[in-house]
Amino acid sequence: MFALRNSSLAYMNPWLLLGLSIGSMVGTQICDYEKSWVLKNMFFGAFVGTMSLSLVPLIHMYSMPVIYDALIATGVTMGSLGVVAYNSPSE
């Protein structure tokens, strides 16, 4: 986060960032894991990188309590869904 805070990469053209994220997502889906697992992992790493890169300006625009509230709400929601899925009877 600190390295990307002052980087010009974080403030690139949003259409280019969208194209890179969609391209890496499609590349991840197209590649076969059994035949080219390195390429699939590289596409997935690029997708995760573009998603995290798109969140860097969000940290600067909003204060940290808003980000923490979103983090807590997401954690509670995903945790409760996990508990429901764990306790549901399997088919």
Per-residue model confidence as pLDDT tens digits over 29-67: 999 888 989 999 999 999 998 888 887 777 777 777 887
CA-angle at 78, arms to 64 and 22, nearest 5°:
75
- On the question of pLDDT at 2 being above 70, the answer is no
Say what the pLDDT of residue 62 is: 72
Q: Are 59 and 1 in contact (CB under 8 A)?
A: yes
How far apart (Å, rounded) are the C-alpha atoms in residues 54 and 25?
Answer: 15
> 20-29, 47-56, 76-85: which has the minimum mean pLDDT?
47-56
Average pLDDT, the chain: 85
Model confidence at 10: pLDDT above 90: no
